[in-house]
Amino acid sequence: MGVWLIGARGSVATTVVTGCAAVAAGLHLPTGMVTETPAFTDSGLPALSDLVFGGHDTVDCPLPKRAETLTAGGVLPPGIATAVAAELTAADREIRPGGPTPGDTRSETELITAFADDIRDFVHRHGLERAVVVNVASTEPASQGPDAPLPASTLYALAALRAGCPYVNFTPSEGMHHPAAAREAERSGLPYAGRDGKTGQTLLRSVLGPMFAQRALTVRAWSGTNLLGGGDGAALADPAAAAAKNAGKERVLTDTLGTTPQGETHIDDVPALGDWKTAWDHIAFDGFLGTRMILQTTWQGCDSALAAPLVLDLARLTARAHESGLSGPLDALAFYFKDPVGDAPSGLAEQYEALIRFAGRLREGEAGEGAAEREDAADGAAHPAREVRGTGDRP
Amino acid sequence: MGVWLIGARGSVATTVVTGCAAVAAGLHLPTGMVTETPAFTDSGLPALSDLVFGGHDTVDCPLPKRAETLTAGGVLPPGIATAVAAELTAADREIRPGGPTPGDTRSETELITAFADDIRDFVHRHGLERAVVVNVASTEPASQGPDAPLPASTLYALAALRAGCPYVNFTPSEGMHHPAAAREAERSGLPYAGRDGKTGQTLLRSVLGPMFAQRALTVRAWSGTNLLGGGDGAALADPAAAAAKNAGKERVLTDTLGTTPQGETHIDDVPALGDWKTAWDHIAFDGFLGTRMILQTTWQGCDSALAAPLVLDLARLTARAHESGLSGPLDALAFYFKDPVGDAPSGLAEQYEALIRFAGRLREGEAGEGAAEREDAADGAAHPAREVRGTGDRP
Amino acid sequence: MGVWLIGARGSVATTVVTGCAAVAAGLHLPTGMVTETPAFTDSGLPALSDLVFGGHDTVDCPLPKRAETLTAGGVLPPGIATAVAAELTAADREIRPGGPTPGDTRSETELITAFADDIRDFVHRHGLERAVVVNVASTEPASQGPDAPLPASTLYALAALRAGCPYVNFTPSEGMHHPAAAREAERSGLPYAGRDGKTGQTLLRSVLGPMFAQRALTVRAWSGTNLLGGGDGAALADPAAAAAKNAGKERVLTDTLGTTPQGETHIDDVPALGDWKTAWDHIAFDGFLGTRMILQTTWQGCDSALAAPLVLDLARLTARAHESGLSGPLDALAFYFKDPVGDAPSGLAEQYEALIRFAGRLREGEAGEGAAEREDAADGAAHPAREVRGTGDRP
Amino acid sequence: MGVWLIGARGSVATTVVTGCAAVAAGLHLPTGMVTETPAFTDSGLPALSDLVFGGHDTVDCPLPKRAETLTAGGVLPPGIATAVAAELTAADREIRPGGPTPGDTRSETELITAFADDIRDFVHRHGLERAVVVNVASTEPASQGPDAPLPASTLYALAALRAGCPYVNFTPSEGMHHPAAAREAERSGLPYAGRDGKTGQTLLRSVLGPMFAQRALTVRAWSGTNLLGGGDGAALADPAAAAAKNAGKERVLTDTLGTTPQGETHIDDVPALGDWKTAWDHIAFDGFLGTRMILQTTWQGCDSALAAPLVLDLARLTARAHESGLSGPLDALAFYFKDPVGDAPSGLAEQYEALIRFAGRLREGEAGEGAAEREDAADGAAHPAREVRGTGDRP
């Protein structure tokens, strides 16, 4: 099975390729990978050792070199990049030039075709049953209206559909959300998931929001500041790019609290922090008789190390969903996203339950999908992707 | 319906009586009271305006005076104590001397009898259908072995049983957990709940623990410090008293994480903080490939304002459970406790679901309890109290 | 002695008047007033009981009413506003309409004249030896260039000079910094001080910055977020108004560290916090061999309660400086300001030393100012205001 | 010049040796070394490249191996241990067995003699002008009274005196504070410094305490928790060992605030944190009119990286003091210690000023010590070590 990464030379992609090889080789435990927990044992997910990586990127730095830099920055543990050098080199060979680059004269259609050809070629040469396209590129500025050119993320999403591949958007970029792509996705019969991986502050918010709501405590203001360096810090220092991300962060509050509290969320580019991210949240809430109380949280994490195991989870789950004949928005994967596609609960606990039910459906999917449909009908709480058959121009 | 408070002149009890009157009079919204949310609308709970308060205490300070002190300390909003002075005075008249006080020569049996008589008298004079006994007294030192005298909390628990009253232990004291009381409880056919209200740090832990577990992140160490003044700060400065409380705090980690992380939990008496409590938690966890990350939380709350709405919730729910014929440990109320009785999940989300199901059962209970039993049988996830009939020497 | 407050009905002014009366009456200790510490015992400062208050404001809410609101918000302790009602009413009678208000047709000269007449009249009617004008109004947007109308703060500053009064700018507004006012100040021979009281985050920065510098630790990034409600929160939500304030906050870092670290400082308007302010700072620094370390601080204070004692200190010190014949920028008061006038050190410890030396000079000033001048000449570290005589058109 | 480290195979010692070589070779900037700032340029300190390391330890792990472990733990940057392998190996050869080890039958006198012989032999073989003995061993339990055996730290201190070497106690162990050693020190005419390096929480306290005092803010409670792994975490988990350390931490509060606030300080052993230390402080203070406010700080640092540059500073300064003929407690080095010897100020700013004055005295010491004495007499604020001549049995 193939994993085609948009932004294949970035920190997240490098950590994905390195970590998959290291875990497959038994060098590290699969910490952070939910698909390696017992609930997924018989769900028919592809083995880590069966994943083949390729992707698009607009920069040149070879993956082994990138892994060295991440090691120096404390993102990858010492020694691991050397131990999996062969796998990094193999993945590096499968990275094709992305676009559009400045001065690129190709039309949107030409770009989509070129990208789709790259993916098909990858699948063909490796004799893969299927490949999942995952967007882990830097966040784009929000789209500029209906007449603006398609954002790159949408070109890649359309290329994925053209190549018959399921698609996962791990970023807040538009990707499959653009109206042009949304129509195509509907027609394609392919499953897709997204958007914007929930790795830190929003993960916390998705458990703290429900806590306040369930305890009937009134949240007056929820303020937050994110400090991060690395590529994402620079990209999000652009207010247009930060807007999409913040929308997701605030959505989880509105959805779990049932109201939008006061307060802003800042994203600051602090290059000195490198790939490390600090998120401070300050929550002013009222208790009984209006007594004012405060909760503060500080989350200090490494962005790539938080994202990479989720990317591996998503690639495996989406591939298996495709194999099981599911199509459309995979709302059962809301557990992973700030701004989930489809119709999904906002609290992490419910999202986790939905994910575990999905694991069950994938398991039953092997024996016969009818069973899954019956369970579905009985369980009003689940909102699974629709099942379709015989569609998609698969490679 | 009666609410009989052990520790009836303490901060929590004073806030309970004041707040109940203020909310019933429409002076304040019922912030923090889960039983006032829509899920409980038709569950047949007693109205706040129908609650009559009394209790035991070993100190003399009148409730209106106590409410004044709490107003000066910022626990009660300005003006409210004056607005509900009549209700405070009424409750104050129903407070009887507790015990054993130093030099008390009464035997344990005499004390139990005296306490039970006080409660029966209260119920009788007010013509109440039932009263719930709730322990909100200061935390006791842990019991000293099988030959030690019964702790006061257990004397009160036995008095509650003797008076035919359901019992709620909002503290970490032994109460109904003492072997002597446990046997009696079993025989009595009365419902009971506890122990140790989950108001701050442990509430947070009960949502953060599951978050780490669900995301397959490895928690290496979970350390915490609690700073609090007020009576509870002084009581818990005694290591023997703190031991029971900390056991509950750590239990939620072990239960939700599936392992006991490194780290200690301190409780410091800081009189300058008065009734305000600060809890700092420091969680060291490993992400993908062993990358070390940190979450810190700081919770600043007013202990009495956090506890009081839960006490009102518990009194109403336990009274209604009694009315519905339920008996034994009310594990559906685990949502409220650090160390819940019976067989209950540890994560807050699951506890909330169990509570909401319980609200449904109480609702159906009005139409006929058989329905409840059938739903029960079908729903393996719930662990409701057993239903009994015709037992208990009800007042 | 008179204290003329610009913004006389605001939270800070109300706290100043209330607190001065309460401390003078012995109802409260003078916590937060440096001029009440032993170092100032014989410095000849006016007694708190001798201070007479008046001022300008554009709003109408009477001071006793304002004090009530501040009591409800927890800024003033219960009971105090009632205890000093007479003093509040007296000060309220001395508040004159400020300006320019929307639709005001008076020229700048007319406004300055009117304001100066108000101040002279106040001094005259009360038979005061002198009055100090202190700006505690909401922060203005930064000035819009040389052709823009004079900001209100500068109109008031010019009125102070016209009335022969020393002037203190407790806000980041332009006031005496405007070129037009600066020239006049020079000519007037009056002492003045400012600007922008150092009450929280910058106070902390002025001790932490030197700590890092003295330990030769390299600060890589210093990021901060301020959350505040109240009038100042709303005023500073305007980026133009926040710019001046942030410049002062960052100046202290550059001055104490010797370099400008990465990082931004945000000021968020969070009305739910009322007059309470939370400031979070995140400092990324390098230790030996480049090891990366972090310091975080969270400051939770009440803005008016932090500002008021400093305003009283400044009024007394500036009045005494005037009496001692000092003129020009009072750089010895840098201890109180984010962006001090004159030539002053940036670290709090050195600023404190300069202040204590100033206390000594004021003390000696009573016996004969020649002594002060001699000490001065010997001590190169002090940068005292120049002394002048017989200038200023005093009332 | 020699540096003889007690605890020569520990994290601090390994970082000292590694870092000295790396900085001397120009591989890293001297971040954290105050003696490399301009104020010390002409103070006649020994060059880093002239330092020769040796020491005592009771464990066997070779320094290059230890440096590898510290690299894996993120204390030393990748690559550096390899770059200075020769210097590590050279230092390793100069480490002699410490004691007393369990089962050691040697008398105290024999141990002191053996240790002193080791030091003399080191000085002799390398032809050193002098060596400074620095205690960087794990903290010992507090001494058990006058009849208890001498603690190991005191045996080493006596050995230093016997060998004619100045002595620095970087730990809270007794060392030269033991009455037996104190008498000898007095007689020896050697300079000494200590105790307990101020690397994190206490460093912060030494700037925050003065800030509160100078602003006349009343600190009600100062509570703290330290989490640390590594050897020191384990040693300090012993309450007896923690007692000495905490005494120093609290002393700085009492000294700078002028009163002892409420609150406790905990030291928790959290092995998962390795050599990283987190210190949380919670400071409850009163502002004007008793308004309650809170400051919290969280310090996350690497203990060895914080300590090592201070150890190098102290070795150089103490050696130069010895060369300049100073003797007795070096109170001018209070800047470095929690619990400084002699008569020294407690605030960091004053300690820094004293240190800079000391740098000046050392500078003048080269031209002729008479000048230093005269300056001394004129400057009542400084409390320099007494100068002596011709004493000490120097090697």
Q: In chain D, which residues have their Cβ closer than 8 Å to the Cβ of C296?
A: 297-298
Q: Does A67 reside within a domain?
A: yes
CATH classification of the domain holding C282: 3.30.360.10
Q: In chain B, which residues have their Cβ closer than 8 Å to the Cβ of C298?
A: 298
Are C302 and D293 inside 8 Å of each other by CB? Answer: yes
Residues A302-345: tens digit of each pLDDT: 999 999 999 999 999 999 999 999 999 999 999 999 999 999 99
Instruction: Compute the nearest-CA separation of B84 from chain D (Å).
Output: 27
Instruction: Compute the nearest-CA separation of B182 from chain A (Å).
Output: 30
E strand segments, chain D:
2-6, 52-57, 95-97, 131-135, 167-169, 191-194, 218-228, 265-269, 276-286, 292-302, 328-329
Examine the domain organization and report whether B189 and B87 are in the same domain.
Answer: yes
**Contact of D191 with D318, CB cutoff 8 Å:** yes
pLDDT higher than 90, residue A376: no
Which of A302, A328, A351 is the last residue before a domain boundary? A302
Percent of chain A with pLDDT over 90: 79
Q: Does B31 reside within a domain?
A: yes
Question: Which domain range does residue B325 map to?
Answer: 2-197+305-371
Examine the domain organization and report whether A85 and A159 are in the same domain.
Answer: yes
Buried b (16+ CB within 10 A) or exposed e, C98-116: bbbeeeeeeeeeebbebbb
pLDDT higher than 50, residue B259: yes
* Contact partners, residue C240, CB within 8 Å, separation at least 6: C141, C142
Are C349 and D210 inside 8 Å of each other by CB? Answer: yes
Nearest residue of B to residue A70 by CA position? B291
- Joined together, the tokens standing for residue C120 give 């002279």
* Contact partners, residue B65, CB within 8 Å, separation at least 6: none
pLDDT higher than 80, residue B395: no
Q: Which of B225, B278, B298 sits opposite D266 (nearest CB)?
A: B225
Are D273 and B284 inside 8 Å of each other by CB? Answer: yes
Confidence of residue A365 (pLDDT cuts 50, 70, 90): low
Output the average pLDDT for chain B: 90
Q: Does D51 reside within a domain?
A: yes
Size of chain B, expressed as the number of residues it contains: 395
Confidence of residue B393 (pLDDT cuts 50, 70, 90): very low
Are D288 and C77 inside 8 Å of each other by CB? Answer: no
Give CA–CA dist D14/D22, Å, rounded.
Answer: 12
Are C216 and D302 inside 8 Å of each other by CB? Answer: no
Distances (CA, A) of D30 to A107, C256, D84: 55, 19, 16
CATH classification of the domain holding D107: 3.40.50.720
Q: Does A388 reside within a domain?
A: no
* Contact partners, residue C82, CB within 8 Å, separation at least 6: none
Are B287 and A32 inside 8 Å of each other by CB? Answer: yes
Q: Which of B34, B218, B291 sits opposite A302 (nearest CB)?
A: B291
Examine the domain organization and report whether D180 and D225 are in the same domain.
Answer: no
Which of B240, B271, B301 is the last residue before a domain boundary? B301
Instruction: Compute the nearest-CA separation of A360 from chain D (Å).
Output: 36
pLDDT higher than 70, residue A266: yes
Expressed in angstroms, the distance from the first to the final Cα of chain D is 12
How do the residues of chain B divide into helix, strand and coil, expressed in percent and rounded to 5? 50, 20, 35
Range scoring the smallest mean pLDDT among A139-153, B248-262, C266-280: A139-153
Expressed in angstroms, the distance from the first to the final Cα of chain A is 12
Residues of chain C in Cβ contact (below 8 Å) with chain A: 220-221, 223, 225, 227, 261-264, 266, 268, 270-273, 278, 280, 282, 284, 294, 296, 298, 300
3-class SS letters over C109-153: HHHHHHHHHHHHHHHHHHCCCCEEEEECCCCCCCCCCCCCCCCHH
- Joined together, the tokens standing for residue A177 give 């959300």
Q: In chain A, which residues have their Cβ closer than 8 Å to the Cβ of D72?
A: 78
Q: In chain D, which residues have their Cβ closer than 8 Å to the Cβ of C299?
A: 293-295
Q: Which of C221, C261, C270 sits opposite A263 (nearest CB)?
A: C270
Its pTM stands at 0.91
The total number of structural domains in chain C stands at 2
Range scoring the smallest mean pLDDT among A210-214, B95-99, B391-395, D185-189: B391-395
Examine the domain organization and report whether A191 and A107 are in the same domain.
Answer: yes
Are D74 and A72 inside 8 Å of each other by CB? Answer: no
Output the average pLDDT for chain A: 90
Examine the domain organization and report whether B102 and B236 are in the same domain.
Answer: no
Examine the domain organization and report whether B291 and B345 are in the same domain.
Answer: no
Burial category of A148 from C-beta neighbours within 10 Å (exposed 0-12, middle 13-18, buried 19 and up): exposed
Residue among C169, C165, C261, C281 nearest C221 (CA):
C261
Percent of chain B with pLDDT over 90: 79
Instruction: Compute the nearest-CA separation of C226 from chain D (Å).
Output: 14
Residues D227-258: tens digit of each pLDDT: 998 777 777 777 777 777 777 778 899 999 99
- Joined together, the tokens standing for residue C1 give 């002695």
Examine the domain organization and report whether B276 and B192 are in the same domain.
Answer: no
Beta strands A52-57 and A2-6 are parallel
Nearest residue of C to residue D305 by CA position? C288
Give the model's pLDDT for residue B365: 67
Count B/C contacts: CB-CB distance under 8 Å. Answer: 7
Q: In chain D, which residues have their Cβ closer than 8 Å to the Cβ of C36?
A: 216
Q: Give chain C's largest Cα–Cα span.
A: 68
Give the model's pLDDT for residue C365: 67
Instruction: Compute the nearest-CA separation of A245 from chain D (Å).
Output: 28
Give CA–CA dist D391/D189, Å, rounded.
Answer: 5
Give CA–CA dist B157/B170, Å, rounded.
Answer: 12
Q: Which residues of chain D have pLDDT under 50?
A: 367-395
Residues A222-253: tens digit of each pLDDT: 999 999 987 777 777 777 777 777 777 788 99
Residue identified by tokens 């030996």 is C288
Examine the domain organization and report whether A140 and A272 are in the same domain.
Answer: no
- Joined together, the tokens standing for residue C42 give 């014989």
Examine the domain organization and report whether B98 and B16 are in the same domain.
Answer: yes
Give the model's pLDDT for residue B372: 36
Give the model's pLDDT for residue C368: 40
Q: Which residues of chain C have pLDDT under 70?
A: 365-395
Examine the domain organization and report whether D230 and D180 are in the same domain.
Answer: no
Examine the domain organization and report whether B153 and B290 are in the same domain.
Answer: no
Nearest residue of A to residue C293 by CA position? A273
pLDDT higher than 90, residue A73: no
Give the model's pLDDT for residue A265: 93
Give CA–CA dist D6/D4, Å, rounded.
Answer: 7
Q: Which of A31, A290, A335 sits opposite B217 (nearest CB)?
A: A31
Q: Supply the Cα-derived Rg of chain C in whole angstroms.
A: 20
Are B268 and D223 inside 8 Å of each other by CB? Answer: yes
Q: Does A214 reside within a domain?
A: yes
E strand segments, chain C:
2-6, 52-57, 95-97, 131-135, 167-169, 191-194, 218-228, 265-269, 276-286, 292-302, 328-329
Distances (CA, A) of B233 to A74, A233, B247, B278, B338: 42, 44, 17, 11, 18
Q: Which of D223, D266, D273 sits opposite B270 (nearest CB)?
A: D223
**Contact of C12 with C308, CB cutoff 8 Å:** yes
Residue among D61, D62, D156, D165 nearest D114 (CA):
D156
Q: How big is the CA angle at B281 (ends B279 and B285), to the nearest 5 degrees?
A: 170
- Contacts of B105-108 with CB under 8 Å at 24 or more apart are B108/B149, B108/B150, B108/B155
Q: Does A392 reside within a domain?
A: no
Q: Does C175 reside within a domain?
A: yes
Q: In chain D, which residues have their Cβ closer than 8 Å to the Cβ of B278?
A: 282, 294
Count CB-CB contacts under 10 A for residue B251: 17
Q: Which chains touch C (3 or more CB pairs under 8 A)?
A: A, B, D
Examine the domain organization and report whether A187 and A55 are in the same domain.
Answer: yes
Between D204 and B231, where is the model more confident?
D204
Are A289 and B347 inside 8 Å of each other by CB? Answer: no
Q: Does D382 reside within a domain?
A: no
